[in-house]
Amino acid sequence: MAQRVLEGLKTPFEVDGHVLYINASIGIVLAEAEHNDPMELLRDADLAMYEAKAGGKGRFVLFSSPLRERAMHRLTLDTDLRQAFQSDAFVLYYQPIVALQSGKIVGFEALLRWQHPTRGLIGPAEFIPIAEANGFIHTITEWTLQEACRQIQAWNALQPDTPLFVSVNLSPVSLHRPELLQWVDNSLRSTSLLPNCLRLEIVETALLQDRRAEQALEQMRQRGIEIGLDDFGTGYSSLSSIHRYPIDLLKIDRSFVSRLTQNAKLDSIVRAIVHLAQELGLQAIAEGIETRPQYDFVKSIGCPLGQGFFLSPPLEARQAQDLLARGGVIPIPSD
């Protein structure tokens, strides 16, 4: 029945001389003993409907108990997330970015973590989608920019001759906020960090949504801030238009790098991405180098930078500072 409804809605409607096309998301629930009244049926049908929307719309989903459990989980996280700032529960970890020729750290990617009072450390994949949905992502973005700039400037003050840069990931939601430029300017001004010590990373889909994203990033570049394209090769790259994107760096996704020297086709893809970056005057970062053969390969094809170097985990700020104090070099295994 649900499928027939969806098929029927594909027929266009005419309203006041205008032809309209619509689709529907349908949630279905079967009455069970646990349902005590009609409102509980509507609640579960509503959950199934939102699950259908999340899966791409124009679909139907049959309710199941795990849907309710996931909804309650999200609701709890949503409530906890709004209280997290009051208890200083967010923290940044720092993953080294390394010059492949020397193994020396040239920068860090700032990675957000949530120190939950009962669940411990929670990664962004679990709470960022909730923050994007409830609008809290903007507060998180502003705080992350400020804290990352403050920390990298503190380290640069200890080694002024070899300044480091910091990369910060931007949510596509925040990328479209008119306040983003103000957040960036305030962070640089209040920490005295030079613009060329800040990199902003985005995913490819953020550039495809509309021209406002490109315009915002172009304004960043005019300030001297570099723009990186994260997880390159896994999204919706358009090679016919990538040359016009306001970017300075391509990050080769871990899914390619971690299987280098094991698959000739993947080797060719990574070689092509590095060559593309060189031809466009962009830098390239290989993410997730795990073995000496992988390291030798990416270095031999001219990739200048690596991240997640030999399984090096993201570091707490004090761990990163200790590493810098010892010379800031990641040892390269012999095999």
pLDDT computed for residue 72 by the predictor: 74
CATH number of 87-325: 3.20.20.450
pLDDT recorded at residue 76: 77
What percentage of residues in the chain have a pLDDT greater than 90? 42
Name the class of domain 2-63: alpha beta
Q: Of 272, 333, 328, 326, nearest to 298 (Cα)? A: 272
**Average pLDDT in the chain:** 87
Query: Which residues 6+ apart lie within 8 Å of 212 measured at CB?
Result: 176
Among 230, 236, 138, 128, residue whose Cα is nearest residue 180: 138
Kindly report whether the global pTM for this prediction surpasses the value 0.85: no
pLDDT tens, residue by residue, 242-297: 777 788 999 998 888 988 988 899 899 999 999 999 998 999 999 988 888 999 99
pLDDT given at position 2: 92
pLDDT score for 67 = 78
Q: In the chain, what are the domain boundaries?
A: 2-63, 87-325
| Whether pLDDT at 96 is above 80 | yes
Side-chain-facing half-sphere of 306: CA atoms under 13 Å:
31
pLDDT tens, position by position, 172-220: 888 888 899 999 999 999 999 999 999 999 887 666 656 677 788 889 9
What is the band of 323 on the pLDDT scale with cuts at 50, 70, 90? very high
